[in-house]
A and B are shown apart, each in its own frame.
Chain A
Amino acid sequence: MPLIRLLRPSLSRLLFAALALAFVHLATQPALAGPYEDAVAQFAAGSFADTEEAIGKLVASAHPRAATIIVALQDGRLFADPDAKTVFIKAEDGKVTDAATGDAVAALPDKASAVRLNNKLRRAVSGAMAGLTLLSPDLNKRIQAAQSVFKTHDETVLPTVEAALKAEKNAAAKQAFAEARAAILLFKQDASDVDKLDAIAVIKARGDQEAMALLTGVPAGQSAAVTSGIASAKAAIERNLALWSMVQNAWYGLSLGSVLLLAAIGLAITFGVMGVINMAHGEMVMLGAYTTFVVQEAIRTRYPALFDYSLLIAVPLAFLVAGAIGVLIERSVIRFLYGRPLETLLATWGLSLIQQQAVRTLFGPTNREVGNPSWMSGAFELGQITITYNRLWILCFTLAVFAILLAMLRYTSLGLEMRAVTQNRRMAASMGIATSRVDALTFGLGSGIAGIAGVALSQIDNVSPNLGQSYIIDSFMVVVFGGVGNLWGTLVGAFSLGIANKFLEPVAGAVLGKIAILVLIILFIQKRPRGLFALKGRAVEA
């Protein structure tokens, strides 16, 4: 066996060089005996040793049919006629083909029997499978195979891995092969210390959880140099992992922060700019989410093709629905309560109860299904963290909403009027601004943005009548923490709370982390009652 193993690399190298030529021959002269044909024929020899050798040869031949044959062998569908030295594959549907050529055969010869496997052979078979895919023309398959070899670090495929490494052009695949090779060498009993230390360096460079697992799994009894190499590599990987987990937490934090910002941004208008305590703010978010649900239902039943655009349709609708209800609330209740914040708080709490119950009556108390469009499903890898598309889109969406709102306040006439009314209501009124109209529109704007937030939140949260309640306290915390009347404060507040929460979570657990955040905010507000970015001066006292 060792002899064959030593031979194999040169064999396969030869083979790769001659592959093109061989194909031509194979196509025209299927009967011509070559390494591949020899290998196939050897399956008929009968002994386990022959079978094992045949497997090795077959893999080394890298013939396109090799994989088919190995799979059949694995499934016990490979039959051999010991006399005729011919081998057949019986497909799952019972059709019989000649293993070497793939030509259909009427029936199995009477003498043909299944090629037997023992445990050692089974390992060889799975190693062969990996070896074969290592040589697959499909880049992704090659990388996948290399990664699976990295985990199994099966010595038998080492020659194949090395061959593949030499022949590989693609950088990513090359990297994967090098790592697979390193894994095998590290676990190989008779590999030299120099090889092993090189291998450790490669694995250390990989630096992820799997590299860590691999290093941890190295059996004891290595030389001192290797043992210390492993230890230092493990330490390095640990540092690397810690770094990545920080990046991961930071991303989760940003993601949570964007959700908080989205929920709070409307409140930053109604509470921050107008000073109206709208306890029904969460219900505006909920209305937005239900609007999305209704839009998706309509699309599902009428125009299923539009499903991917459902959110684009829902955003303006949610803005209008929540905004209209906001204007209605302002005109019918809140305008009578200006200057009485505590009463406003109670009245809007009542409104939130009414809205919740109304939605519960209309849509039922249970969660409603809101789907993700295709562009919001799935995830991609960035370094060692996974980023889901819906979270990424929500982050982008939130920032876009924030930017638009900021621009709106700064550059439109409504924005100008809003700022004028907040700064000096009487002066604004005497300059001909219809302050009550501005009040209604400002409140509508804040509510409409809450509605938009609902569309986004429907993608990551349960759409139920209680949706809004889970956001209201957090939203207020964000606005108060950031400093009332300051949109930038809300932005900073949302992201810092989101990130703080996610960094506390691994340490304290989700619930305790949340409690800790609440307690910290309570303490913070007492230290700086007007938030991070507070307005100063005499006007504040009013």
Chain B
Amino acid sequence: MSLLETRTTSAMLYLDGVHVSFDGFHAINNLSLTLEPGEMRAIIGPNGAGKTTMMDIITGKTKPDKGEVVFDGTTDLTKLDETQIATLGIGRKFQKPTVFESQTIEDNLLLALNVDHRVRGTLFWRRSEPESKRIDRVLEIIRLGDARDRLAGSLSHGQKQWLEIGMLLAQDPKLLLVDEPVAGMTDVETHQTAELLKEINSHDKTVVVVEHDMTFVRELGVKVTCLHEGTVLAEGTIDDVSANERVVEVYLGR
């Protein structure tokens, strides 16, 4: 651990030798991964490959048994909790869209805004002009502008996905972790989502996308990492990875 304090990397996200096991089951096994600032990376892998657990580790929900997780060159994420990590500028969209269903779409975005998140700050918070503008802008991007006063619970599955991406935008993090963003979307929506993510990425945001939908991954056109049994199986362009014998083996079984 003392090594960590002196080491700095140029990477936005740096995982090295990470292990996690639950009651003897090795969910993550010697996982190493590096993301440069401004990079977008797609993560694929069969069920149980450890994709979601990896996200849990980065966001502080699960503590690794051993290994290093470093954010933005210097920050050791294993010592922080979810709140601190989120405050650092890591945003996450969940596999199952998780929005605040009993609140309006506008309020969902309002909650996500990266303003003072302390108790006193929220108790005496009053909306300012730039904040209103930002919410309007996000609503426009996620195409829910005319539904701003509807309860988030009344949205369709795809709309919830978009709202959650919208919350990520409002949060304005440096690193975005996006878990299965296009599940339950139409082809058109999938395409739009890919465009949106590319757009976000072009504004110097680092993005990690976990997805099963290969058309979507292909459309993103970024470096792909394939996980299997908690470790990196292959890395490269989508064509390289899907041509990889071991990847094929893992997906097909022997």
Question: In the complex, A touching B, CB below 8 Å?
Answer: yes
Interface on A for B, CB 8 Å cutoff?
Answer: 535-538
Assess whether B53 is in contact with A536, with CB atoms less than 8 Å apart. no
List 7 tightest A-B contacts by C-beta distance, closest first: A537-B22, A536-B22, A536-B23, A537-B23, A538-B22, A538-B53, A537-B25
Q: Which residues of B are found within 8 Å of A537, using beta-carbon distances?
A: 22-23, 25
Task: Give the residues in chain B near A538, CB-CB below 8 Å.
Answer: 22, 27, 52-53, 56
Q: List 11 A-B contacts (CB under 8 A).
A: A535-B23, A536-B22, A536-B23, A537-B22, A537-B23, A537-B25, A538-B22, A538-B27, A538-B52, A538-B53, A538-B56
Report Cα–Cα, A536/B65, bound state, in Å: 13
Which residues on A sit within 8 Å (CB–CB) of B22?
A: 536-538
* Chain A minimum-CB-distance residue to B56: A538
State A536–B22 Cα separation when bound (angstroms): 6
Q: How far is the CB of B55 from the nearest CB of chain A, in Å?
A: 11
Instruction: Give chain A nearest CB distance to B27 CB in angstroms.
Output: 8
Shortest CB-to-CB span from B118 to chain A, Å, is 23
Measured CB to CB, the nearest residue on chain B to A539 is B22
Q: Mark B33-53, 1 if CB is under 8 A from A, else 0.
A: 000000000000000000011
Beta-carbon contacts under 8 Å, B14-29 to A: 22-23, 25, 27
Q: In chain B, residues 116-136, which have Cβ atoms closer than 8 Å to a Cβ of chain A?
A: none
Complex: A535 Cα to B23 Cα, angstroms:
8
How far does the alpha carbon of A537 sit from the alpha carbon of B27 in the complex, in Å? 9
Q: Nearest CB to that of B22 among chain A residues?
A: A537
In the bound complex, residues from chain A placing their C-beta under 8 Å from that of B56 are: 538
For A535, the chain B residues whose CB sits under 8 A away are 23
B147 to chain A, nearest CB (A): 28
Residues of A within 8 A of B27 (CB): 538
**Shortest Cβ distance from residue B17 to the other chain A in the assembled complex, whole angstroms:** 21
CA distance A537 to B61 in the complex (A): 11
Q: Which residue of chain B lies nearest to A541 when distances are taken between CB atoms in the complex?
A: B61
> Complex Cα distance A102/B52, Å?
101
Q: For residue A536, which residues in chain B have a CB less than 8 angstroms away from its CB?
A: 22-23
Nearest Cβ distance between residue B54 and chain A, in whole angstroms?
12
Tell me the bound Cα distance from A538 to B23 in angstroms. 11
Complex contacts, B53 vs chain A, CB 8 Å: 538
A427 to chain B, nearest CB (A): 14
Cα distance A164–B73 in the bound complex, in angstroms? 93
Q: What separation, in Å, do the CA atoms of A538 and B54 have in the docked complex?
A: 12
A538 to B28, CA, bound (A): 13
Q: Please give me the residue from chain B that is nearest to A537 by CB atom.
A: B22
CB distance from A145 to the nearest CB of B (A): 65
Q: How many angstroms from the CA of A535 to the CA of B25 in the assembled complex? A: 13
Measured between beta carbons, the chain A residues less than 8 angstroms from B25 are 537
New A-B pairs, 8, CB < 8 Å, besides A537-B22, A537-B23, A538-B52: A535-B23, A536-B22, A536-B23, A537-B25, A538-B22, A538-B27, A538-B53, A538-B56
Query: How far is A386 from B25 in the complex, measured between Cα atoms in Å?
Result: 49
Q: Mark B172-204, 1 if CB is under 8 A from A, else 0.
A: 000000000000000000000000000000000
* Cα–Cα distance between A536 and B27 once the two chains are bound (Å): 12
A486 to chain B, nearest CB (A): 12
Minimum C-beta distance from A105 to chain B (A): 92
Q: Give the distance in Å from the alpha carbon of A317 to the alpha carbon of B129 in the complex.
A: 73
- Distance, CA A537 to CA B26, complexed state (A): 11
Chain B nearest CB from A533 CB (Å) reads 11
Per-position 1/0 for B48-88, Cβ under 8 A of A: 00001100100000000000000000000000000000000
Closest to A535 in B: B23
Distance to closest chain B CB from A451 (angstroms)? 34
Nearest CB on A from B23, distance (A): 5
What separation, in Å, do the CA atoms of A536 and B23 have in the docked complex? Answer: 6
Chain B min CB distance to A534 (Å): 10
Nearest CB to that of B23 among chain A residues?
A: A536
Name which residue of chain B comes closest to A540, CB basis. Answer: B22
Question: With A and B bound together, what is the CA distance between A535 and B22 in angstroms?
Answer: 9
A159 to B43, CA, bound (A): 99
In whole angstroms, how far apart are the Cα atoms of A536 and B52 in the complex?
A: 16
Question: Min CB distance, B186 to chain A, in Å?
Answer: 27
Minimum CB–CB distance for B180 against chain A, Å? 16
B194 to nearest A CB, angstroms?
29
Tell me which residues across on chain A come within 8 A of B23, comparing CB atoms.
535-537
**In the assembled complex, how far is the CB of residue B59 from the closest CB belonging to chain A, in whole angstroms?**
13
Roughly how many angstroms separate A17 CA and B22 CA in the complex, as a whole number?
A: 82
Chain A CB within 10 Å, residue with most, of B22, B27, B52, B53: B22
Q: Complex Cα distance A535/B53, Å?
A: 17
- A536, B62: Cα distance in complex, Å: 11
In whole angstroms, what is the CA distance A538 to B22 when docked?
A: 8
Shortest C-beta distance, B53 to chain A (Å), equals 7
- Bound state CA distance, A537 and B22, in angstroms? 5
Question: Would you give the shortest CB distance from A535 to chain B, in whole angstroms?
Answer: 8
CB distance from A540 to the nearest CB of B (A): 9
Least CB separation from B25: chain A residue: A537
Closest chain-A Cβ to B35's Cβ sits at a distance in Å of: 24
Minimum C-beta distance from B152 to chain A (A): 20
Minimum Cβ distance to chain A for residue B29 (Å): 15
CB-CB nearest in chain A for B61? A541
Q: Separation in Å of the A233 CB from the closest CB of chain B? A: 56
B52 cross-chain contacts in A, Cβ below 8 A: 538
B3 CB to nearest chain A CB (Å):
28
CB distance from B126 to the nearest CB of A (A): 34
**Distance of A537 Cα from B24 Cα, bound (Å):** 10
Q: Give the complex CA separation of A537 and B23 in angstroms.
A: 7
